[in-house]
Chain A
Amino acid sequence: MTRYIIRRILQAIPLLFIISVILFALMMNMGDPLATLGGRQPPRGEDRLRLARQLGLDQPIYMQYIFWLVGNDWMRFDTTGDGVPNTYGTRRGILRGDWGTSLVTRRPVVEMIWQRLPNTLLLMGTAQVVIIVFSLAIGIYSALRQYSITDHVITTGAFIGYSMPIFWLALMLMYIFAVNFKKWGLPYFPTVGMYDPAVGRTFSQVVWHMALPVATLSVTAIAAYSRYIRASMLEVINQDYIRTARSKGLPERFILWRHALKNASLPLVTLIGLDLPLLLAGAVVTERIFAWPGMGRLFLDHVERADYPVLMGILMLVSIAVVVFQILTDIVYTYLDPRIRYS
């Protein structure tokens, strides 16, 4: 097992390397970061050249990639523009823990991500819990009543939920629970931000502000998850060992939760393993609509300004998380299904 894990980690390294090359090549052509600096008066002429030199944007792409990867403190640069390299670089590169500095805010990328990450994890984590609880309940319920009217209704509902663009769902929810509830004099949900600035960041404020975004994020995912759970539950429930358990006289609830669910949860673990790392990325669309100050918003804001260190930071963080969670998923498999052995 240990050898398997070590091999997987070793395999992940070239994978992450390829990802970083693909992303970096795309980043370099996303637009001109210098044009977005300086507000209404973008730097021109000599200013522009000087700025490009200072930010290292005058270097060829492959050099910029190398600097991003391993830093540039081993090399002298010409910062004055007289053609003579005079000062050493200051960057240490992502391999040595330096995620770079934002071109726009001049703040370290790690600091910017660190500031947004808790907000995103709060929103996405809550949504993930809601998703798992509801989809388990719905999936198991409709599996136990296969082809009943309720099952058909749930199936149709799942298809509709699955086909709905998140932003449209968000708009509908806002229209019903914020706009119309307000009109009808009912307690209505807020639609913008994490808390009311007048009240401050209290627990109840955040929960209240989280309701609609969490609902938005959950509906489509519950639709997809509950389908998988229903399918795998159906497969397991008709197997011999469940019949054996029944004929032994075990209580139905015990059979369901201990015997059936453990085997039926394998596909669910795959799904969660694929989705958990994406929690870090936040939800671009949902965060934008509800003005939630998370990673998705950070990404969108900096895409517009072609701020590649921030974008690379976010995307590499997520890619690393994806790879780590794939390995973790495989390890969880061996616990859930002892028949699986890795060599």
Chain B
Amino acid sequence: MSSMAGPARRSAVSTTTEFGDVQTKGGALSPWRLAWRRFVRHRMAMVGAIILLLLILYVVVGALIFSEAYANQTATFKRLQGPSWEHPFGTDPVGRDVLARTIYGGHISLSIGISAMLVSVVVGVLIGAIAGYYGGAIDSILMRFTEAVFNIPSLFLLIVMAKFFSGRIPTVELFGRSFSGSVIVIIVVIGLTSWMYLARIVRANYLSLKEREFVLAARCLGVPNRRIILFHILPNTLAPIIVTATLGVAAAILSEAYVSFLGLGVQPPTASWGNMLDGSYVYLESAPWLWFFPGLLIVLTVLSINFVGDGLRDALDPRSLTK
């Protein structure tokens, strides 16, 4: 971010003068500061941010209390016990503590959400930027491709791709923990099935921005195309990217849950909120705690991210500057 902030601030000079009345008091405020102010005043967004912080606290502090070995430890003699002081969220069909598993499942679900979003942002921005900046044949080929992927129902594509990549990536050791290869597969697959919307937005912005004077100036100075794309135009189209990326995290967490729920996602013993629900509907009646708690955590996470994303949209949308 810090490397991109420079040109953004420079180009922002013209925008702040257009809305000069906004910053008469207290000196010049950068558009990012203004956006931050609007964001903090957004009630829903703040509620969302607080819930999200609590959830992150839950998975971080929880990991300090319970070890991962404890979360994966089976004890069949106390299988399917209801919530109690010892096991506040009960135990699962092989006697594992559901509370501890929601904590480690949270790590997986949240990291999948963020990493898959990063993959989709990188792909979406690259394709959108190249198509929009170069135009012509490259543009029409890339956009036909985007449209083709867009036309395939996403859950179906997700399932087919999950099956395509499954079992091809070995277990990975990272941060002293081992991640099942299925986690990487799911990140890549979700990332590769969710970039199309962003690519379209980015392309549209590049189409209009590349005609502006500052791009012409950069070209005259002999700045290479790659530099113009990354450091001159990109910072000016960050706002929609940030909003889409935020909402993308929520969508990715939901997608992970769907695919894992269908048994094609993260493979046990690695827990994720989605695969904790897989098969738990067999115990719909006898052990509702099995599916209630992981599901509730998914709803809370997705809901709070959506609130934050909505707040960001209101804060970053230039049209709301005039209010």
Contact = CB atoms under 8 A, between A and B. Distances in A.
Interface in A266-301: 278, 281, 284-285, 288-289, 299-300
A30 B151 contact: no
Contact of A168 (B44, B151, B156, B299): B299
A168 to B, nearest CB: 4
Interface string A319-335: 10011000000000000
A31 B291 contact: no
Nearest to B310: A159
Interface stretch (A16-24, A50-58, A67-75, A119-127): A16-24
B153 A165 contact: no
A134 to B, nearest CB: 21
Contacts of B307: 159
Interface residues of A, number: 43
Interface in B256-277: 257-258, 261-262, 264, 277
A303 B163 contact: yes
Given A165-B298, A179-B285, A319-B152, A23 B254 contact: no
Interface in A165-185: 165-168, 171-172, 174-175, 179
Interface stretch (B1-9, B57-65, B115-123, B140-148): B140-148
B306 A168 contact: no
Contacts of A289: 281
Interface in B284-320: 284-285, 288, 291, 295-296, 298-299, 302-303, 306-307, 310
Main secondary structure on B side of the interface with A: helix
A293 B144 CA distance: 35
Contact of B257 (A26, A27, A165, A281): A165
A208 interface: no
A340 B144 CA distance: 24
B149 interface: yes
Given A160-B303, A171-B281, A285-B258, A315 B147 contact: no
A15 to B, nearest CB: 6
Nearest to A170: B281
A273 to B, nearest CB: 13
A18 B262 contact: no
Given A163-B299, A165-B298, A179 B284 contact: yes
A318 B156 contact: yes
A174 B284 contact: yes
B306 A15 contact: no
Contact of A164 (B261, B264, B288, B299): B299
A14 B261 CA distance: 35
Contact of A303 (B147, B151, B159, B261): B159
Interface residues of B, number: 39
Of the listed residues A19, A29, A165, A319, the one surrounded by the most CB atoms of chain B closer than 10 A to its CB is A165
Contact of A285 (B153, B161, B261, B302): B261
Contact of B151 (A14, A19, A164, A314): A19
A233 interface: no
A68 to B, nearest CB: 16
B164 interface: yes
A26 B153 contact: no
Contacts of B261: 165, 167, 285
6 contacts: A22-B148, A26-B164, A165-B257, A284-B159, A284-B262, A318-B152
Given A159-B310, A171-B284, A319-B152, 16 more contacts: A19-B151, A19-B152, A26-B160, A164-B302, A165-B295, A166-B258, A167-B257, A167-B261, A179-B285, A284-B156, A285-B155, A300-B262, A306-B163, A314-B156, A315-B153, A322-B151
Interface of B: 44, 144-145, 147-149, 151-153, 155-156, 159-161, 163-164, 250, 254, 257-258, 261-262, 264, 277, 280-281, 284-285, 288, 291, 295-296, 298-299, 302-303, 306-307, 310
